Structure 1
C-alpha cells in the first residue's frame, strides 16, 4: 500500500476544512434568518385569514 507524504495529508486536511467551514457558514449564519423570515410570513398570513382579510405584502427578506 502506498503511503502519502505529509504535504498531501496537509493539503487534503486543508481542503476538507474549507468544505466543512463553508457548510457550517450556511447552517449557522444564513439559515436561521431565512427560517425566521418564513415564520413571520406564515404568521402574517394566518392572522390575516383569522381576521378575514388579505395578507399584507411581505417584507423584503434579509
Structure 2
C-alpha cells in the first residue's frame, strides 16, 4: 500500500474512533441531563457529523 493510501486508511480509522467516542460521551451527557432534549441534540449532531464525513453507516457502540 502506498504511503498516501496508508495515511488515508489511518485517518479513516481515527475518524471512526472519534465518532464512537463522541457518541458515547454525548449519550452519557444526555443521561446526566434532560434525556429527551439530549437525545434530540445528539441525533441532530450525529446527523450533521455523518453528513460532514460522508458516512451514513458508522458502527454503533456496543
TM-score normalized by the length of structure 2: 0.50
Whichever structure has more helix as a proportion of its residues is 2
TM-score normalized by the length of structure 1: 0.50
Larger radius of gyration: 1
